[in-house]
Structure 1
Amino acid sequence: MFFFVLFAVVMGAAHYYIWKRAVRATTRPGRGRRIGTWVVLFLYLLVMSALAVSRLGESGFVAAVAWPGFIWLAGAFYFSLVLGVLEIPRLVLNRAAREHEAPVAVGAPTAEVEQPGAALEGQPADPGRRLFIARSLAVAGGVATAGVVGFGTTQALGDPVVKRVPVTLGKLDPRLSGYRIAVVSDIHLGPLLGRGHTERIVRMINEQRVDLVAIVGDLVDGTVAALGEAAAPLGDLVSTHGSFFVTGNHEYYSGVEPWVAELERLGVNPLRNERLRIERAGASFDLAGVNDVTGETFEDGPDYARALDGRDTSTPVVLMAHQPVAVRESAKHGVDLQLSGHTHGGQMWPFHLAVGLQQPVRSGLETVDGTQVYTSNGAGFWGPPVRVGAAPDISVVELRHKFAG
């Protein structure tokens, strides 16, 4: 409820700004302004309605509200951002218009002639010229917004990029060099992404012929009753050592226990603060998984000691943890490689700047406190079906011995 209220306030402010610059400033009082005002109000209510129905699963009604609502959410964000940037040329053009219209008296002192418009500094430009400037900037802002959102939509709805990520582990047995793990996160099945999305991801992973599949949280945005059919293709995942799953924050919002049971039924193995030994050709490493930190609110939080203590430290351990920030604890337990998601790579520029305030890794492979962390951009999206500067991905992490070529 707090998030919904905060979202309503922020969106209200954004829509008021859009109304001020794209309606009030571009129209004269009358019918056109009234229509524009009602349009902006409708768009605001559409965004709020999309958020309200987003956890109701797949249905024609939900899709009819969610698709335009969430696309406009991205549009409202970028339109506000572009209009804000255009405030500078707006001020410059309006000032130039005032100076152009300033009268100069015949025989006036030279000092006054050298400062055209100074006497009218506080007066507005000619209403017609000001209206032309406002309309021109609003159109430019609208075109730019449409271009960005259109491009971002094609990125979000297109096939995820398959990334190949070599990771060298010092303790890895040479016989395991080349071991391949498909990492996928943030699939976000829900009102906008259904069974077809899952089928595409499963097909793309199976084409890679990997040794193991790691699904690192935020699979769903809805209940098993609403989305069980959409998740069903996960039962068709094929790999040498199976498919594994750890909870993300959205599983706790969607009913974590029914989803864990459903994934087990599909043959996807949840790792809930536990680990197992992965063996090949007489060599082995540990695969572990911890619950997402959001589980603490549901008395189901991460337990690193349970998952990691008492193992053979002469072999490496790969930890599945939804949020990269888990590395602060996993490093203390000697984790060699952590596989994470959650950040969406920022999803829509410039939100990647905010991600860095909360998470130590936004995207890709980095080392934190001596532990390597790989963070996927995720294969889906949350909210707007738009990605700008952070294409969706499925990653194939290839473990390598330190002396491998």
Structure 2
Amino acid sequence: MLFFLMFAAVMGAAHYYVWRRAVRSTTRPGRGRWIGTGVVVFLYLLLMASLLVSGDGGGVLGVVVAWSGSIWLAGAFYFALIMAVLEIPRLVLLRATRARQVPAVVGAPDVAVETPDAVLADQPADAGRRLFIARSLAVAGGVATAGVIGFGTTQALGGPVVKRVPVTLGKLDQRLSGYRIAVVSDIHLGPLLGRGHTERIVRMINEQQVDLVAIVGDLVDGTVEELGEAAAPLRDLVSTHGSFFVTGNHEYYAGAEPWLAELERLGVNPLRNERLRIERAGASFDLAGVNDVTGEGFGDGADFARALDGRDTSTPVVLMAHQPVQVREAAKYGVDLQLSGHTHGGQMFPFHLVVGLQQPVRSGLETVDGTQVYTSNGAGFWGPPVRVGAPPDISVVELHHKFAG
């Protein structure tokens, strides 16, 4: 409820700004302004209603509300952002208009006179010119917004990019060099993404013929009753050593226990603060998984000691942990590689710039406190079906032996 109220307030302010620039500034008082105001109010209510749609979409009407409201969320954001950037040229153009309206003094010498800013400010711009400037900028902002949303939607709804990520581990036995792990995160099954989305992901993973599948959280945005059928294709995942799962924050919002039981039924093995040994050709490494930090509020938090204590430190350990920030604790236990998601790679620019305030790695492979962390952009999206600057991905992490010298 607190999130809903805060979101309503923020988006209310954004819609007021949209109304100022797209309606009030571009229309004269009268019927046109009232219609424009009604449209903005309707879009705001549509957006808020889309947050209340259940995981199964709530029928045809629910699907329409979910899709249209979510797309408008991105539209409102980018239109407000673009119009904010256009405030500078708007003020320059209005200032130029006022300057041209300063009346000439009869009989004054023909010399340049510097007009004080106060005088310019007191000269109202011609109403027609102001209207023309406002409408031109609103049209420019609308066209730019439509272009960004169109591109972002094709990115979000298109097939994930398959990334190949070579990772060198100092302790890895040479006989395990070339071991391939498919990493997929943030699938986000829900009102906008259903069974077809899962089927495509499973097909793409199976095409890679990997040794192991790691699903690192945020699979669902709804209950098993609502989305069990959408998740069912996960039973068709094929790999040498099986499929494994760790919780993300959204599993706890949707009901983690029923989902963990359902995944086990589908042949996807949850790792709940535990580890197991992966062996091939007489060599081995440890695969561990910890719960998401959100689980602490549900009595099911991450327990690194339980997952990692007492292991053979002469062999490497690969840790599945939903949030990259968990590497701070993982590094204390000598984890060699952490596989994460959660960030969506920022999903929509300029949110890329905000991720770094919370997470040490936004996207890709980096080293934090001596531990390598690979963060996937995720295969789905949350909120708007829009991705700008962070295409969805399925990553094939290939482990390599580090040769001496």
SS in 1 for 2:165: strand
Contact 2:179 2:400 (8 Å CA) reproduced = yes
SS in 1 for 2:70: helix
Contact 1:185 1:378 (8 Å CA) reproduced = yes
Higher mean Cα deviation, 96-105 or 315-324? 96-105
- What is the count of residue pairs matched by the alignment? 405
Contact 1:102 1:117 (8 Å CA) reproduced = no
Contact 1:157 1:385 (8 Å CA) reproduced = yes
Q: Deviations over 1:4-58 (max 9, x none)?
A: 0000000000000000111000000000000000000000001100011154556
The unaligned stretches of length 5 or more in structure 1 are none
Equivalent positions of 1:247-266 (< 5 A) are 247-266=247-266
Matches of 1:56 and 1:96, distance apart in 2: 55
Matches of 2:404 and 2:353, distance apart in 1: 36
Q: What amino acid sits opposite 1:75 in the alignment?
A: G
In the TM superposition, residue 79 of structure 1 has moved relative to its aligned partner by: 0.3
Matches of 2:201 and 2:282, distance apart in 1: 31
Q: What amino acid sits opposite 1:285 in the alignment?
A: F
In the TM superposition, residue 116 of structure 1 has moved relative to its aligned partner by: 9.0
The aligned residue for residue 322 of structure 2 is 322
Matches of 2:369 and 2:145, distance apart in 1: 40
The unaligned stretches of length 5 or more in structure 2 are none
Please state if 1:211 is matched with 2:211.
yes
The aligned residue for residue 400 of structure 2 is 400
SS in 2 for 1:162: strand
Matches of 1:65 and 1:159, distance apart in 2: 24
Contact 2:322 2:341 (8 Å CA) reproduced = yes
In the TM superposition, residue 103 of structure 1 has moved relative to its aligned partner by: 1.8
SS in 1 for 2:26: coil
The aligned residue for residue 284 of structure 2 is 284
The aligned residue for residue 52 of structure 1 is 52
SS in 2 for 1:399: strand
The aligned residue for residue 383 of structure 1 is 383
Contact 2:199 2:233 (8 Å CA) reproduced = yes
In the TM superposition, residue 118 of structure 1 has moved relative to its aligned partner by: 6.8
Contact 1:347 1:391 (8 Å CA) reproduced = yes
In the TM superposition, residue 324 of structure 1 has moved relative to its aligned partner by: 0.2
Matches of 1:40 and 1:119, distance apart in 2: 36
SS in 1 for 2:81: helix
Q: What amino acid sits opposite 2:31 in the alignment?
A: R
Higher mean Cα deviation, 281-290 or 61-70? 61-70
RMSD: 1.5
Matches of 1:369 and 1:58, distance apart in 2: 46
Contact 2:101 2:123 (8 Å CA) reproduced = no
The aligned residue for residue 293 of structure 1 is 293
Matches of 1:367 and 1:349, distance apart in 2: 24
Runs of 4 or more, structure 1, over 6 Å off, are none
Q: TM-score, normalised by structure 2?
A: 0.98
SS in 2 for 1:285: strand
In the TM superposition, residue 121 of structure 1 has moved relative to its aligned partner by: 2.9
Matches of 1:111 and 1:117, distance apart in 2: 19
Matches of 1:116 and 1:353, distance apart in 2: 40
Contact 1:184 1:216 (8 Å CA) reproduced = yes
Contact 2:56 2:227 (8 Å CA) reproduced = no
The aligned residue for residue 125 of structure 1 is 125
Alpha-carbon spacing, 1:54–1:69, altered in 2? closer, same or farther (3 Å)? farther
Q: TM-score, normalised by structure 1?
A: 0.98
Matches of 1:30 and 1:181, distance apart in 2: 63
